[in-house]
């Protein structure tokens, strides 16, 4: 048998009032999850699939003589239009949870790589090299690029660590020091 309830919200919390006389005598139990509230009491059950996520650690419940008050701390200060998700949204969310997000991100990165052209493709290549490199290689890349004014990019720390990296302008151009 289901229970009657009402709810209201403030900027920081959602309060659900479940009408239940003698809740303590009826062995009531409340389980609060990030997007779900489940309450049972001797033959009564209430399951709410919440519209937005909540902070479980800052949420609580308390029994009174005629009701149980469940206070849920909002994860963000968003105004809730409804307390619960619609049934089709719940089904879609459970389907979404089964997706392999790492695979989706990998596919998206591959698409980005294929679509990139020119300078964007080159920058993407450097980001990939830098991101997948050891700290030593990253240090070499940073030092060579900054000391050469962006004209040299080396991944060899043994070579770069010994002395200052000299400026090597592109062929057909010359390097000039700015006068101050």
* Model pLDDT for residues 102-135, shown as the tens digit of each residue: 777 777 777 776 777 777 777 878 888 888 889 9
Band of residue 8 on the pLDDT scale cut at 50, 70, 90: very high
Residue 145 corresponds to which tokens in the numbers above? Answer: 């690029």
Percent helix, strand, coil in the chain (nearest 5)?
A: 30, 30, 40
Mean predicted confidence (pLDDT) in 61-86:
90
Mean predicted confidence (pLDDT) in 87-95:
55
- The residue extents of the domains of the chain are 5-74, 118-166
Residue among 131, 149, 130, 132 nearest 140 (CA) = 130
Cα–Cα dist 164/160, whole Å:
7
pLDDT of residue 77: 85
- Residues whose CB is less than 8 angstroms from the CB of residue 4 and which lie 6 or more positions away in sequence, other chains included: 18, 19
Residue among 130, 126, 166 nearest 146 (CA) = 166
Whose tokens are 């200052």? That residue is 164
Query: Which stretch of DSSP H or E encloses residue 6?
Result: strand 4-9
> Any idea which fold 5-74 has?
Immunoglobulin-like (2.60.40)
Mean pLDDT, the chain, integer: 84
* Model pLDDT for residues 139-159, shown as the tens digit of each residue: 999 999 898 888 888 889 999
B/e letters for 94-122, b = 16+ CB within 10 Å, e = fewer, are eeeeeeeeeeeeeeeeeeeeeeeeeeeee
pTM score, whole prediction: 0.48
């Amino acid at each position: 048998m289901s229970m009657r309830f009402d709810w209201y919200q403030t900027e920081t919390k959602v309060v659900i009032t479940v009408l239940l006389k003698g809740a303590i005598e009826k062995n009531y139990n409340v389980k609060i999850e990030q997007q779900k509230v489940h309450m049972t009491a001797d033959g009564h059950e209430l399951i709410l699939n919440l519209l937005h996520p909540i902070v479980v650690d800052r949420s609580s419940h308390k029994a009174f003589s005629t009701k149980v008050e469940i206070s849920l701390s909002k994860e963000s200060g968003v105004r809730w239009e409804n307390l619960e998700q619609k049934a089709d949204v719940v089904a879609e969310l459970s389907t979404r949870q089964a997706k392999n997000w790492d695979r989706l991100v990998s596919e998206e990165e591959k698409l980005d790589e294929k679509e990139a052209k020119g300078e964007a493709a080159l920058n993407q290549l450097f980001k990939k090299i830098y991101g997948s490199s050891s700290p030593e290689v990253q240090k070499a890349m940073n030092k060579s690029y900054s000391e050469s004014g962006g004209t040299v990019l080396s991944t060899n720390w043994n070579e770069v660590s010994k002395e200052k990296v000299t400026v090597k302008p592109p062929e057909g151009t010359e390097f000039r020091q700015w006068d101050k």
